[in-house]
A = this chain, B = another copy of it.
Protein backbone atom coordinates (compact mmCIF):
# COMPACT_ATOMS: atom_id res chain seq x y z
CA UNK A 1 0.00 0.00 0.00
CA UNK A 2 1.14 3.55 -0.78
CA UNK A 3 1.49 5.98 2.08
CA UNK A 4 -0.66 9.06 2.81
CA UNK A 5 -0.28 11.42 5.79
CA UNK A 6 -3.16 13.59 6.93
CA UNK A 7 -1.98 16.36 9.27
CA UNK A 8 -4.78 18.74 10.27
CA UNK A 9 -6.19 19.61 13.67
CA UNK A 10 -9.66 20.59 12.46
CA UNK A 11 -10.84 17.19 11.18
CA UNK A 12 -13.67 15.41 12.94
CA UNK A 13 -14.09 11.62 13.15
CA UNK A 14 -16.58 11.82 10.29
CA UNK A 15 -14.01 13.51 8.03
CA UNK A 16 -11.31 10.97 8.93
CA UNK A 17 -13.70 8.16 8.02
CA UNK A 18 -14.41 9.72 4.62
CA UNK A 19 -10.69 10.21 3.94
CA UNK A 20 -9.92 6.68 5.15
CA UNK A 21 -12.49 5.10 2.84
CA UNK A 22 -11.37 7.16 -0.16
CA UNK A 23 -7.72 6.34 0.54
CA UNK A 24 -8.40 2.63 0.77
CA UNK A 25 -10.33 2.71 -2.51
CA UNK A 26 -7.32 4.45 -4.09
CA UNK A 27 -4.75 2.00 -2.73
CA UNK A 28 -3.41 4.22 0.07
CA UNK A 29 -2.91 3.60 3.78
CA UNK A 30 -3.65 6.85 5.60
CA UNK A 31 -1.94 7.91 8.84
CA UNK A 32 -3.70 10.68 10.76
CA UNK A 33 -1.86 13.40 12.71
CA UNK A 34 -4.63 15.38 14.37
CA UNK A 35 -3.49 16.52 17.82
CA UNK A 36 0.26 16.47 17.13
CA UNK A 37 1.21 17.58 13.61
CA UNK A 38 3.35 15.45 11.32
CA UNK A 39 7.06 16.21 11.98
CA UNK A 40 9.61 16.86 9.20
CA UNK A 41 11.38 13.58 10.13
CA UNK A 42 8.13 11.58 9.86
CA UNK A 43 7.31 13.33 6.59
CA UNK A 44 10.06 11.44 4.78
CA UNK A 45 7.86 8.31 4.64
CA UNK A 46 4.97 9.69 2.67
CA UNK A 47 4.12 9.87 -1.02
CA UNK A 48 1.11 12.13 -0.37
CA UNK A 49 0.61 14.67 2.43
CA UNK A 50 -2.59 16.61 3.12
CA UNK A 51 -2.21 19.35 5.71
CA UNK A 52 -1.17 22.85 6.69
CA UNK A 53 1.58 24.41 4.56
CA UNK A 54 4.98 24.18 6.30
CA UNK A 55 8.40 24.81 4.80
CA UNK A 56 10.14 22.51 7.30
CA UNK A 57 7.72 19.69 6.54
CA UNK A 58 8.28 19.97 2.80
CA UNK A 59 12.07 19.99 3.24
CA UNK A 60 11.79 16.73 5.18
CA UNK A 61 9.40 15.11 2.71
CA UNK A 62 11.95 13.24 0.62
CA UNK A 63 9.50 10.67 -0.81
CA UNK A 64 6.84 13.26 -1.61
CA UNK A 65 5.00 13.27 -4.95
CA UNK A 66 1.98 15.43 -3.99
CA UNK A 67 1.36 17.96 -1.24
CA UNK A 68 -2.21 19.18 -0.74
CA UNK A 69 -2.40 22.34 1.37
CA UNK A 70 -5.60 22.58 3.40
CA UNK A 71 -5.20 26.37 3.22
CA UNK A 72 -6.00 28.44 0.14
CA UNK A 73 -2.95 30.73 0.27
CA UNK A 74 0.30 28.86 -0.46
CA UNK A 75 2.68 31.79 -1.03
CA UNK A 76 4.94 30.54 1.80
CA UNK A 77 5.70 27.25 0.06
CA UNK A 78 6.05 28.01 -3.63
CA UNK A 79 9.85 28.21 -3.91
CA UNK A 80 11.31 25.26 -5.73
CA UNK A 81 14.09 24.67 -3.21
CA UNK A 82 11.52 23.24 -0.77
CA UNK A 83 10.70 20.32 -3.06
CA UNK A 84 13.09 17.38 -3.50
CA UNK A 85 12.08 17.05 -7.17
CA UNK A 86 10.64 19.68 -9.52
CA UNK A 87 7.72 17.43 -10.50
CA UNK A 88 6.28 17.19 -6.99
CA UNK A 89 2.66 18.31 -7.32
CA UNK A 90 1.30 21.12 -5.14
CA UNK A 91 -2.43 21.74 -4.73
CA UNK A 92 -4.30 24.18 -2.50
CA UNK A 93 -7.80 24.35 -1.03
CA UNK A 94 -8.97 27.54 -2.73
CA UNK A 95 -12.67 26.92 -3.21
CA UNK A 96 -13.30 25.62 0.30
CA UNK A 97 -13.29 29.08 1.84
CA UNK A 98 -15.50 31.07 -0.55
CA UNK A 99 -18.69 30.55 1.40
CA UNK A 100 -17.40 31.53 4.84
CA UNK A 101 -15.34 34.45 3.51
CA UNK A 102 -18.28 35.74 1.43
CA UNK A 103 -20.39 35.79 4.61
CA UNK A 104 -17.56 37.62 6.39
CA UNK A 105 -17.33 40.24 3.61
CA UNK A 106 -21.11 40.74 3.62
CA UNK A 107 -21.03 41.18 7.40
CA UNK A 108 -18.15 43.68 7.62
CA UNK A 109 -19.43 45.64 4.62
CA UNK A 110 -22.81 46.09 6.33
CA UNK A 111 -21.06 46.88 9.63
CA UNK A 112 -19.09 49.69 8.00
CA UNK A 113 -22.07 51.01 6.02
CA UNK A 114 -24.27 50.98 9.14
CA UNK A 115 -21.60 52.39 11.50
CA UNK A 116 -21.70 49.36 13.80
CA UNK A 117 -18.25 49.84 15.36
CA UNK A 118 -19.39 53.23 16.68
CA UNK A 119 -22.79 51.87 17.70
CA UNK A 120 -21.20 48.98 19.63
CA UNK A 121 -18.84 51.35 21.40
CA UNK A 122 -21.86 53.51 22.36
CA UNK A 123 -23.68 50.43 23.64
CA UNK A 124 -20.60 49.34 25.61
CA UNK A 125 -20.81 52.67 27.42
CA UNK A 126 -24.62 52.45 27.67
CA UNK A 127 -25.03 55.53 25.45
CA UNK A 128 -28.30 55.46 23.51
CA UNK A 129 -27.41 57.32 20.30
CA UNK A 130 -28.92 57.23 16.85
CA UNK A 131 -26.77 56.75 13.74
CA UNK A 132 -26.59 60.02 11.78
CA UNK A 133 -26.03 58.48 8.35
CA UNK A 134 -25.94 55.01 6.90
CA UNK A 135 -25.21 53.40 3.59
CA UNK A 136 -26.58 50.32 1.92
CA UNK A 137 -25.38 47.45 -0.25
CA UNK A 138 -28.60 48.06 -2.20
CA UNK A 139 -27.87 50.50 -4.99
CA UNK A 140 -24.11 50.58 -4.43
CA UNK A 141 -21.31 50.17 -6.94
CA UNK A 142 -18.93 47.40 -5.93
CA UNK A 143 -15.56 46.40 -7.36
CA UNK A 144 -14.18 42.98 -6.50
CA UNK A 145 -10.45 42.48 -6.98
CA UNK A 146 -10.01 38.78 -7.61
CA UNK A 147 -12.78 36.79 -9.28
CA UNK A 148 -12.08 33.36 -7.81
CA UNK A 149 -14.36 31.43 -5.50
CA UNK A 150 -14.35 34.11 -2.77
CA UNK A 151 -14.94 37.06 -5.09
CA UNK A 152 -17.64 35.19 -7.00
CA UNK A 153 -19.51 34.01 -3.91
CA UNK A 154 -19.53 37.55 -2.56
CA UNK A 155 -20.56 39.03 -5.92
CA UNK A 156 -23.60 36.73 -6.00
CA UNK A 157 -24.67 37.84 -2.53
CA UNK A 158 -24.13 41.52 -3.34
CA UNK A 159 -26.25 41.25 -6.50
CA UNK A 160 -28.99 39.43 -4.58
CA UNK A 161 -28.96 42.29 -2.06
CA UNK A 162 -29.53 44.80 -4.83
CA UNK A 163 -26.09 46.24 -5.60
CA UNK A 164 -26.40 48.56 -8.61
CA UNK A 165 -23.24 47.15 -10.21
CA UNK A 166 -20.64 44.54 -9.29
CA UNK A 167 -17.43 44.74 -11.30
CA UNK A 168 -14.79 42.02 -11.24
CA UNK A 169 -11.11 42.76 -11.75
CA UNK A 170 -8.72 39.99 -12.79
CA UNK A 171 -5.38 39.60 -14.52
CA UNK A 172 -6.90 39.13 -17.92
CA UNK A 173 -10.33 40.19 -19.16
CA UNK A 174 -12.22 36.94 -19.75
CA UNK A 175 -15.68 35.45 -19.20
CA UNK A 176 -16.71 35.12 -15.58
CA UNK A 177 -19.63 34.23 -13.36
CA UNK A 178 -22.84 36.04 -14.26
CA UNK A 179 -22.87 37.67 -10.80
CA UNK A 180 -20.39 40.17 -12.25
CA UNK A 181 -21.84 42.92 -14.40
CA UNK A 182 -18.54 43.38 -16.13
CA UNK A 183 -14.96 42.13 -15.87
CA UNK A 184 -12.00 44.51 -16.09
CA UNK A 185 -8.33 43.67 -16.35
CA UNK A 186 -5.87 44.78 -13.70
CA UNK A 187 -4.61 47.44 -16.13
CA UNK A 188 -8.11 48.97 -16.14
CA UNK A 189 -8.38 49.07 -12.34
CA UNK A 190 -7.49 52.76 -12.02
CA UNK A 191 -10.25 53.68 -14.43
CA UNK A 192 -13.05 52.15 -12.29
CA UNK A 193 -11.79 53.16 -8.83
CA UNK A 194 -13.28 56.70 -9.01
CA UNK A 195 -16.80 55.22 -9.24
CA UNK A 196 -16.24 52.39 -6.74
CA UNK A 197 -18.11 52.73 -3.44
CA UNK A 198 -17.14 49.34 -2.01
CA UNK A 199 -13.77 47.84 -2.95
CA UNK A 200 -13.42 44.17 -2.00
CA UNK A 201 -9.96 42.61 -2.25
CA UNK A 202 -9.73 38.81 -2.42
CA UNK A 203 -6.36 38.23 -4.06
CA UNK A 204 -3.64 35.65 -3.48
CA UNK A 205 -0.18 36.92 -2.53
CA UNK A 206 1.86 36.95 -5.71
CA UNK A 207 4.47 39.23 -7.26
CA UNK A 208 1.71 40.84 -9.32
CA UNK A 209 -0.68 41.52 -6.42
CA UNK A 210 1.89 42.97 -3.98
CA UNK A 211 1.01 46.62 -3.41
CA UNK A 212 -1.73 46.57 -6.05
CA UNK A 213 -3.73 49.05 -3.95
CA UNK A 214 -0.97 51.62 -3.81
CA UNK A 215 -1.04 55.27 -2.72
CA UNK A 216 -2.03 56.54 -6.17
CA UNK A 217 -4.93 54.11 -6.49
CA UNK A 218 -6.16 54.81 -2.94
CA UNK A 219 -6.29 58.50 -3.93
CA UNK A 220 -8.59 57.60 -6.86
CA UNK A 221 -11.31 56.20 -4.58
CA UNK A 222 -14.16 58.58 -3.66
CA UNK A 223 -14.39 59.94 -0.12
CA UNK A 224 -17.37 57.73 0.73
CA UNK A 225 -15.60 54.53 -0.38
CA UNK A 226 -15.01 51.47 1.80
CA UNK A 227 -12.09 49.05 1.41
CA UNK A 228 -12.41 45.42 2.51
CA UNK A 229 -9.40 43.09 2.35
CA UNK A 230 -9.67 39.35 2.97
CA UNK A 231 -6.83 38.20 0.67
CA UNK A 232 -3.35 39.07 1.87
CA UNK A 233 -2.10 42.17 3.66
CA UNK A 234 0.71 42.67 1.14
CA UNK A 235 -1.82 43.78 -1.49
CA UNK A 236 -2.27 47.19 0.20
CA UNK A 237 0.10 50.07 0.91
CA UNK A 238 -0.85 50.11 4.59
CA UNK A 239 0.80 53.45 5.33
CA UNK A 240 -1.19 55.14 2.58
CA UNK A 241 -4.41 53.44 3.69
CA UNK A 242 -3.95 54.56 7.30
CA UNK A 243 -3.32 58.14 6.17
CA UNK A 244 -6.41 58.17 3.93
CA UNK A 245 -8.60 56.84 6.76
CA UNK A 246 -7.20 59.18 9.39
CA UNK A 247 -7.68 62.16 7.05
CA UNK A 248 -11.26 61.16 6.09
CA UNK A 249 -10.31 60.62 2.46
CA UNK A 250 -11.96 57.19 2.80
CA UNK A 251 -15.13 56.38 4.78
CA UNK A 252 -13.87 53.13 6.28
CA UNK A 253 -12.01 49.87 5.89
CA UNK A 254 -12.19 46.32 7.20
CA UNK A 255 -8.96 44.34 7.22
CA UNK A 256 -8.90 40.65 8.06
CA UNK A 257 -5.34 40.43 6.74
CA UNK A 258 -2.49 42.85 7.36
CA UNK A 259 1.27 43.10 7.71
CA UNK A 260 2.46 41.76 10.10
CA UNK A 261 0.18 39.16 11.66
CA UNK A 262 -0.42 39.02 14.55
CA UNK A 263 -0.37 42.79 14.78
CA UNK A 264 2.18 44.01 17.37
CA UNK A 265 0.86 45.84 20.42
CA UNK A 266 2.27 49.22 19.32
CA UNK A 267 1.17 49.09 15.67
CA UNK A 268 -0.63 52.23 14.39
CA UNK A 269 -3.31 50.12 12.66
CA UNK A 270 -4.87 49.56 16.10
CA UNK A 271 -5.64 53.28 16.33
CA UNK A 272 -6.60 54.06 12.74
CA UNK A 273 -9.89 55.90 12.25
CA UNK A 274 -12.94 53.98 10.91
CA UNK A 275 -10.94 50.77 10.63
CA UNK A 276 -12.52 47.44 11.56
CA UNK A 277 -9.82 44.86 12.30
CA UNK A 278 -10.35 41.11 12.57
CA UNK A 279 -7.53 38.64 13.32
CA UNK A 280 -7.41 36.67 10.03
CA UNK A 281 -10.58 34.74 10.84
CA UNK A 282 -12.66 35.25 7.71
CA UNK A 283 -11.65 31.92 6.25
CA UNK A 284 -10.63 29.81 9.18
CA UNK A 285 -11.88 26.26 9.43
CA UNK A 286 -14.34 26.76 12.29
CA UNK A 287 -17.33 26.68 9.93
CA UNK A 288 -18.32 23.01 9.46
CA UNK A 289 -19.19 23.62 5.81
CA UNK A 290 -15.62 24.84 5.15
CA UNK A 291 -14.12 21.61 6.50
CA UNK A 292 -16.63 19.49 4.56
CA UNK A 293 -15.62 21.21 1.31
CA UNK A 294 -11.92 21.05 2.15
CA UNK A 295 -12.07 17.28 2.71
CA UNK A 296 -14.31 16.75 -0.30
CA UNK A 297 -11.89 18.63 -2.57
CA UNK A 298 -8.92 16.61 -1.30
CA UNK A 299 -10.75 13.30 -1.72
CA UNK A 300 -11.75 14.13 -5.31
CA UNK A 301 -8.18 15.02 -6.15
CA UNK A 302 -6.97 11.84 -4.43
CA UNK A 303 -9.19 9.88 -6.82
CA UNK A 304 -7.75 11.92 -9.70
CA UNK A 305 -4.20 11.30 -8.49
CA UNK A 306 -4.71 7.55 -8.08
CA UNK A 307 -6.23 7.29 -11.56
CA UNK A 308 -3.51 9.38 -13.19
CA UNK A 309 -5.94 12.19 -14.08
CA UNK A 310 -4.89 15.86 -13.72
CA UNK A 311 -5.45 17.38 -10.27
CA UNK A 312 -8.21 20.02 -10.09
CA UNK A 313 -6.59 22.36 -7.59
CA UNK A 314 -3.05 22.36 -8.96
CA UNK A 315 -0.87 25.36 -8.08
CA UNK A 316 1.49 26.88 -10.64
CA UNK A 317 4.52 27.50 -8.39
CA UNK A 318 6.01 30.15 -10.67
CA UNK A 319 2.73 32.09 -10.72
CA UNK A 320 2.20 31.56 -6.99
CA UNK A 321 -1.40 30.30 -6.93
Q: Give A residues with C-beta under 8 Å from B.
A: 99-100, 103-104, 106-107, 110-111, 113-114, 116-117, 119-120, 122-123, 126, 128-139, 156-157, 160-162, 261-263, 265, 270, 277-279, 281, 284, 286-287, 289
* Cβ contact within 8 Å between B137 and A279: no
Chain B residue contacts of A287, Cβ below 8 A: 134-136
Q: Please tell me which one of the listed residues B100, B110, B128, B132 contacts residue A262 in the complex, with CB atoms under 8 A apart.
A: B128
Q: How far is the CB of A239 from chain B (nearest CB, A)?
A: 20
A155 and B208 CA atoms in complex are apart in Å by 40
A123 and B281 CA atoms in complex are apart in Å by 12
Considering only CB atoms, which chain B residue lies closest to A162 in the complex?
Answer: B99
Considering only CB atoms, which chain B residue lies closest to A284 in the complex?
Answer: B130
Copies per complex of this chain: 2
Which 3 pairs from chain A and chain B are nearest by CB? A160-B160, A128-B262, A107-B110
A116 and B120 CA atoms in complex are apart in Å by 11
* Contact A106-B110, Cβ < 8 Å, known A99-B136, A134-B100, A287-B136: yes
* Cβ contact within 8 Å between A99 and B138: yes
A219 and B134 CA atoms in complex are apart in Å by 36
A109 and B154 CA atoms in complex are apart in Å by 17
Chain B residue contacts of A270, Cβ below 8 A: 126
* Contact A103-B110, Cβ < 8 Å, known A129-B279, A270-B126, A286-B133: yes
A261 and B100 CA atoms in complex are apart in Å by 35
Q: How far is the CB of A91 from chain B (nearest CB, A)?
A: 24
* Cβ contact within 8 Å between A107 and B116: yes
- Interface centre among A107, A162, A265, by most chain B C-beta atoms within 10 angstroms, is A107
Chain B residue contacts of A132, Cβ below 8 A: 286
Additional A-B contacts beyond A103-B138, A136-B287 (17; CB < 8 A): A99-B136, A99-B162, A100-B134, A100-B136, A103-B110, A103-B113, A103-B161, A104-B114, A106-B110, A107-B107, A107-B114, A110-B110, A119-B281, A130-B284, A131-B284, A157-B160, A160-B160
* Cβ contact within 8 Å between A123 and B278: yes
A117 and B121 CA atoms in complex are apart in Å by 11
Chain B residue contacts of A161, Cβ below 8 A: 103, 106, 157, 160
A136 and B157 CA atoms in complex are apart in Å by 14
Considering only CB atoms, which chain B residue lies closest to A116 in the complex?
Answer: B107
Chain B residue contacts of A156, Cβ below 8 A: 160
A135 and B286 CA atoms in complex are apart in Å by 8
Chain B residue contacts of A117, Cβ below 8 A: 120
Q: How far is the CB of A208 from chain B (nearest CB, A)?
A: 29
Q: How far is the CB of A245 from chain B (nearest CB, A)?
A: 16
A129 and B263 CA atoms in complex are apart in Å by 11
5 contacts between A and B (CB under 8 A): A99-B136, A103-B113, A128-B262, A128-B263, A132-B286
A239 and B119 CA atoms in complex are apart in Å by 24
